[in-house]
Structure 1
Amino acid sequence: MIRRTTISAALAGLVTALALSSGTVYAAMAAPDTASEAHAHAHGHFKHGRHGDFEKQLEKLHAQLKLNSQQEALWKTAVDTMHANREQMRAQHKANKAQMKAAMQQPILDLAAMHAAREQQAQQARQLHEQTTQAWLNVYNALDDQQKTMVSTALKTRWQKMAQHRAEMREHQEHDEAASMPAAQ
């Protein structure tokens, strides 16, 4: 699970970086980590639409890169792939919730079948992530050195912001844990 989350975060960072300066993956590409998103929403970290901000950053980067016609075609393919795969992930998430709700109604759970279904869903998610990643890598590989430098700068900036955000979240979590502990008597 940690490896998948790390890979998803890395892919999300790549796509985000392509969008920012070339700035997330999604992280926009990555399947949402619902636990961390729920925590972030509960603490007001996502005041604006996650994907809406990403789309704005992507458009900004797109304008900065000044793509030629070949690069533009690859960009459009990457954006279309990203959007289509995000919708498939949403549909998959909705189906997962329905399956869980149905399982809750069963007197005896079939854990082997639930595991097999989860593995199949994880494989489909990996395929969608890989499609999206490959589409963005095709864009990146078609860029000239100046454009790649812009993307690289954006990625590094994004990584720094992500590291800062993780540190803030860790600090917030430690504060929450300390506040929830009973006072020593």
Structure 2
Amino acid sequence: MGGARYFNQDLSPYCKRLKATIALYDNFKPASKFHPNWGKEWVVGVLKECGSDDEAAEEVDQEVTEKVEGIILTVNVPNVTSDKGVLRFALYDKATFMKTPLDGQVAKIKDGAASIELNNVAPGEYAIICYHDGNNNDALDYDENGMPKEDWGMTNNPVLMGPPTFDIAKFTVENKSLDLTIKF
């Protein structure tokens, strides 16, 4: 912004990015208590250089936060092999992939299909894994050689020759809701 100001260029693209950054701070969840979670005050201070006073910056903060709170991910599985049991879904980011999910939901199966909605998803990169818990034991069952006995799938519907990875399943959430389909 300093260079743009020095050369009398328009600051609005920088200001727009700063406004969007505030929402990221509001929705950020540190991986542990030792991970940094500071910086919003600095962004609001720089935003004042865009001609915003404290009240205007708070309005922008509220507006962007409301926009993020409206982001919904709808996940559909259209090809479940039976209506027995439930489908279990887990939302991950790169740091939590295949560990503790950021959000988890259970869906009932009707006529071989199920769907869920994940609300208030912050912008970022995520992956979703789901499986058909046909016997309701709250676990994906495996046979003796380590292969899953129950159907499962993940975002982007990749064909795998080994365990899933975040990079294969990742998708990006921006400032609009998404509809995703996972096929078994």
> What TM-score does the superposition give when structure 1 sets the normalisation length?
0.26
Structure (1 or 2) with the larger CA radius of gyration: 2
Higher relative contact order (CA 8 A, sep 6+): 1
Larger helix fraction of residues: 1
> What TM-score does the superposition give when structure 2 sets the normalisation length?
0.26
Larger strand fraction of residues: 2
